[in-house]
Structures are given as structure tokens and as C-alpha cells.
Amino acid sequence: MAIPASNGKTVLVTGIGGYIAGVLGHLLLTKGYSLRGTTRKATSVEPLLKGAYGPYADRVKIFEVLNMTVDGAFDEAAKGVDGIFHMASPVDFSITTYDESVTIAKRGNEVLLAGALKAGPQLTSVVVTSSVAAILDPKEDPEYSYTEVDWALGALAQAEKDKEAGVPTPSERLYAASKTAADQTMWKFRESHKPPFALTTNNPSLVIGPPANLVSHPSKLNESVVLLFSILSGTAKSIPPKNGSGSFVDVRDVAYEHLWAYENSSKADGQRYIACEGFGPSQAIADILRYAYKGTAIAEKIFVGVPGEGYLGFDKETGDVGDVKYLPGTVRVNGSKAEREMGFKYITFKQSVLDTVKVFESLL
């Protein structure tokens, strides 16, 4: 494959060693962008630089940012860039305190945006990676369809109340609170500073799909794809519970949505975009893989569970899985705004699962 010439634009991706960031960075390089990336330790991204980013080495520069909550943390990396993708944010469900989670998430956005104001007049867009966790809050309607107008305000209120009471907040609720607070911080910044660049958030559901670089050991897999590997390898001795709403999106679609928001900054300014193809339950993963590897030793190891349970799209006669859909009576996440406005079709759950595990076969 021919290496594209530079398009003359330089963009910054914070947290470049992350799963989504790594895929986005590769997409940007294939489009001719020069790439700056931040990471806490430069050595942590060496496999990426020698692997997927290797052919583009002359257009990649890495900056170490040890603490993203310190004033000026991103200033050097952001200076002179044309676009910023802010993806650096810890996903650590062992954190149980407000200050470790919510305060840090808010502060990280504040520091990044302050750096963006100093980046120069050439900066046209800042795209911030959030999460569907900032959107989901329990509803009385059992078939409620969440969209970009929704906020997880209940999670934030609970975290603030728990802080006052001196008690820990459940990890998933605390994560939702941190994402909600960080998003609100960004929109308040836009309202008060009226920056000369566009601001957009992307709110992905559970992300799966092929990583930019194959890891050397299963223990190094990103948290969101560990579940797939556990089912494929047979280490899962039961069907894992669904993650949150059970909604999913392919990492390649998330990367595309980020790039589109930057390249169409006038349309994306002030917008939230949910990144979600639809439903992706664990039972469907097992069913898809068992059929795909039928007749092999891999299929024999996959926990059976109850084929077809919990979703629509399972063919009882063949054992194959078609288009996975939510069951009636379950809440859902609606990612159609991005698909409609950005002019693309989401990669299906089945295709995403198969593409992901194909990469992992060498780890078995």
C-alpha cells in the first residue's frame, strides 16, 4: 500500500496509547495528517510506533504528559495544531472517590481547553471523546430510546451526595458521573469563552473491533475486548453479563466519527454524537463465534449458555446469527444521528465480532 503524502495538517490526539486513540491515529495517518500524540510514558507506545505507525514515522511526534490536571500540561503539544482529539481519560472502575474520578475528569477537560485557546488561530476544531455513560440515566419507560438530548444527571447527583456523606459511589455510577461532569465542563467553557474553534463530543457505547496494533499477550488487551477474547478462548465459564445497556459500536466507526467531526467542524460545532450501532449482548457473541468456528477445537471451548437468549436475530434451525436487535421491553441507545448526518453505515455487530477475534487467533 502506498504511503499517502502529507496533507499539510497537523492534529493532536491525547492519550494516543489508548484503544480508540490508536485506531484514530492510524486513520489520520492514512489520510495524510501529521500526528502528535500525548502519553504518560513514551515507552508505552513504542510497540505502536514500531507497528501500525511505523510506515508513517516521519509524521509522528510523541509528547509525555505525566499529569493532565496540571496547568499547561497540553500547551506544548497543542501549539500550532489544526485539530485536537481529546481522548486521554482514565477508565478505572476500581476508583471509588469523587475527587479521584469526577474532579480529575473535569480538570482534565479544563486544562486541555485552556491549551487549545493558546494553540493558535489555525486551530479549527476540538473533538472530545466522552461516553454513552454520560447519557444513560434510569427511565420509567422500559423501551426508552436514549438520544443526545439525555444526560446522566442522576449519576452525577448521586456522586455529589455520596461525597457529602463520605461514602463511596458504585464504580459504574461514579464513571457516569465523571463523564457527565466533564462534558458539562466543556459546554460551560464554550458558553463562557466563545472559542474561535468548534467543540464537539463523541459518546461511544461499548467499543469493540480490531485494535491498531496486536498485543503480545491477552493480559494486555483493552478492557472492552477482553470479554470477546474470554469467550473465544473458552476461559469464560459462563456468559458474561451485558455491559450497561448492552449497546455497542465498532472502533473503526468511532474513529471515523471523530475525523468527520473535525473535517466538518462548522456542522459539528456544539453537537453531541452518540456512537452506537445497536445491541451487542454476550450471548450473541458466543452464538456468533460458535457458528463461525463450527467443527473446530475453538468452537468446542466456547461456553454455550442459552443460544439466542436475550436478543432477536438468532436462527434456531441453523444456529447462525443475523442482525442482532433489542428484545421488546428493553431500553436502547440510538446512534442514528451520527449515521444520518455523517453519511455512513455502521459496521454490524456480527461483522465487528468476527473482525475482532480474527486478530486475536494468534493469541490462543
Residue-wise pLDDT for 324-352, tens only, equals: 999 999 999 999 999 999 999 999 999 99
Mean of per-residue pLDDT scores for the chain: 95
Span between the terminal Cα atoms of the chain, in Å: 29
341: burial class by Cβ within 10 Å (0-12, 13-18, 19+)?
A: middle
Q: How far is 92 from 105, CA to CA, in rounded Å?
A: 12
Give the number of C-alpha atoms closer than 13 A to the C-alpha of residue 283, restricted to the C-beta side: 15
Q: What is the mean pLDDT of residues 253-266?
A: 99
**CA 327 to the chain's CA centroid:** 25
Residue-wise pLDDT for 276-330, tens only, equals: 999 999 999 999 999 999 999 999 999 999 999 999 999 999 999 999 999 999 9
Q: How far is 149 from 299, CA to CA, in rounded Å?
A: 42
Res 212 pLDDT > 70: yes
- Contact of 210 with 222, CB cutoff 8 Å: no
The pLDDT value recorded for residue 47 is: 94
Strands (E), 138-205: 145-146, 198-204
Res 165 pLDDT > 70: yes
Residue-wise pLDDT for 218-241, tens only, equals: 988 988 899 999 999 999 999 999
Q: How far is 357 from 232, CA to CA, in rounded Å?
A: 7
Residue-wise pLDDT for 138-158, tens only, equals: 898 999 999 999 999 999 999
The pLDDT value recorded for residue 97 is: 86
Strand, helix or coil for residue 150: coil
The pLDDT value recorded for residue 1 is: 64
Q: Give the number of other Cβ atoms within 10 Å of residue 104's Cβ.
A: 20
The dihedral through the CA atoms of 219, 224, 226, 232 has a sign that is negative
- Contact of 338 with 274, CB cutoff 8 Å: yes
Q: How far is 263 from 180, CA to CA, in rounded Å?
A: 25
Res 187 pLDDT > 90: yes
Q: For residue 236, give the DSSP letter.
A: -
Strand, helix or coil for residue 63: strand
The pLDDT value recorded for residue 234 is: 96
Residue-wise pLDDT for 68-116, tens only, equals: 999 999 999 999 999 999 999 765 556 778 988 999 999 999 999 999 9
Instruction: Using pLDDT thresholds of 50, 70 and 90, give the confidence band for residue 2.
Output: confident
The pLDDT value recorded for residue 245 is: 82
